[in-house]
């Protein structure tokens, strides 16, 4: 990896992904609006202040950003990537919805810059371990050019050739994930209220057809030990669910169950839970029912 690579956004997901590129020998140019986020990279990568500087120094630039507005600002705003001379490919690892991605891709194409839509799933643990699911949409030639770098993050799933298509897949994934966590919170609280041991209950569910990402991972690892450190804020899950419902509405697809899931997370947001880890949503069901889902005898549940 002798080519210079840019990376913008060094948060919970971006930092470990940038670290994986460094570990593979990439010459990195990094940027983050928070100086403290970029500080650990000083001496190991070139740290710059503006996205345009990243694009000027590196022909391929990755970005992992929290919101659609952040993506638009980084690319299209003053000092943004669109101003950079020498930029060839922009790879958006963010979850920002198809409309934002298409607008950014169109603006960059007018300047002769290609774009890959490449949101990721797998959380902080996946980013650190290189086991993310990387959903990619874009021109085949661009995919192949960037593939060696994407492989540092995890397994690649090419889902289409039009930027924005990978966003649809990622938003569908997060709706399913958010639904699993919401419904698992409800049924686990119901079980504890009935006098069941939550660890034993999870073991039984995980051996049956109800197994899902929340019963298999988030509850045994985050909820039962009352850790709540999965690394993804409730506000970001709510943002993704809102984007997913907007995609469905634009496509004329009904979302009866999806709308109910969205309302669950909207309630948590209204109660001030936006900055909490998303695994902590169980607390709002617990509060209502007057019980707590936690490991009782210290054995926990098998993940």
Band (pLDDT 50/70/90 cuts) for residue 2 is: low
**Spatial separation of the C-alpha atoms in residues 255 and 148, rounded to whole Å:** 37
Q: Is the pLDDT of residue 301 over 70?
A: no
- Average pLDDT on 5-20 reads 97
Phi, psi for residue 178 in degrees, rounded to 5: -65, -35
Band (pLDDT 50/70/90 cuts) for residue 51 is: very high
pLDDT for position 1: 55
Full-prediction pTM beyond 0.85? yes
Beta carbons of 87 and 55 less than 8 angstroms apart: yes
DSSP per position, 267-285 = HHHHTT-TTSBGGGGHHHH
pLDDT for position 298: 41
Per domain, the residue ranges of the chain are 4-162, 168-289
Q: Is 239 a catalytic residue?
A: no
Q: List, in sequence order, every residue forming a beta bridge with 45; answer none if it has no partner.
A: 42
pLDDT for position 302: 44
Query: Could you report the per-residue pLDDT of 181-211, keeping only the tens digit for each?
Result: 999 999 999 999 999 999 999 999 999 999 9
Would you state the structure tokens that stand for residue 47, as one six-digit string? 């740290």
Q: Output the CATH code of domain 4-162.
A: 3.40.50.720
pLDDT for position 303: 39
- Average pLDDT on 236-258 reads 97
Tell me which fold the domain 168-289 belongs to. Answer: 1.10.1040
Beta carbons of 38 and 93 less than 8 angstroms apart: no
**Spatial separation of the C-alpha atoms in residues 181 and 188, rounded to whole Å:** 10
- Average pLDDT on 149-154 reads 97
- Average pLDDT on 228-250 reads 96
What percent of the chain is predicted at pLDDT more than 70?
97
Give residues with Cβ within 8 angstroms of 162, minimum separation 6: 137, 138
pLDDT for position 299: 38
Band (pLDDT 50/70/90 cuts) for residue 296 is: confident
Band (pLDDT 50/70/90 cuts) for residue 297 is: very low
- Average pLDDT on 61-88 reads 96
Q: How far is CA 59 from the centre of its chain?
A: 24
Catalytic residue of the set 170, 218, 233, 239 = 170
Instruction: Return the number of other C-beta atoms located less than 10 Å from residue 193's C-beta.
Output: 13
């Amino acid at each position: 990896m002798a080519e210079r690579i840019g990376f913008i956004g060094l948060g919970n997901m971006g930092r470990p992904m940038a670290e994986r590129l460094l570990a593979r020998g990439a010459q990195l140019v990094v940027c983050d609006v928070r100086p403290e986020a970029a500080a650990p990279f000083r001496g190991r990568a070139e740290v710059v202040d503006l996205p345009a500087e990243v694009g000027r120094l590196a022909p391929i630039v990755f970005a992992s950003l929290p919101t659609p507005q952040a993506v638009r600002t980084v690319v299209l705003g003053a000092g943004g990537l669109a101003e950079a001379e020498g930029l060839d490919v922009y790879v958006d690892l963010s979850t920002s919805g198809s409309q934002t991605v298409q607008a950014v891709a169109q603006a960059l194409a007018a300047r002769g810059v290609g774009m890959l839509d490449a949101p990721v799933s797998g959380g902080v643990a996946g980013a650190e371990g290189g086991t993310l699911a990387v959903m990619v949409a874009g021109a085949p030639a661009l995919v192949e050019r960037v593939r060696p770098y994407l492989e540092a993050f995890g397994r690649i799933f090419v889902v289409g050739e039009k930027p924005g298509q990978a966003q649809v897949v990622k938003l569908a994934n997060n709706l399913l994930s958010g639904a699993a966590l919401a419904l698992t919170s409800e049924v686990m609280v119901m079980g504890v209220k009935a006098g069941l041991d939550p660890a034993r209950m999870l073991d039984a569910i995980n051996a049956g057809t109800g197994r899902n990402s929340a019963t298999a991972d988030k509850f045994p690892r985050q909820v039962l030990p009352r850790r709540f450190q999965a690394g993804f804020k409730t506000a970001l899950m709510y943002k993704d669910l809102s984007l997913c419902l907007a995609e469905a509405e634009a496509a004329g697809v009904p979302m009866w169950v999806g709308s109910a899931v969205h309302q669950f997370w909207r309630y948590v947001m209204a109660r001030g839970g936006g900055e909490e880890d998303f695994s902590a949503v169980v607390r709002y069901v617990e509060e209502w029912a007057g019980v707590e889902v936690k490991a009782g005898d210290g054995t926990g549940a098998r993940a």
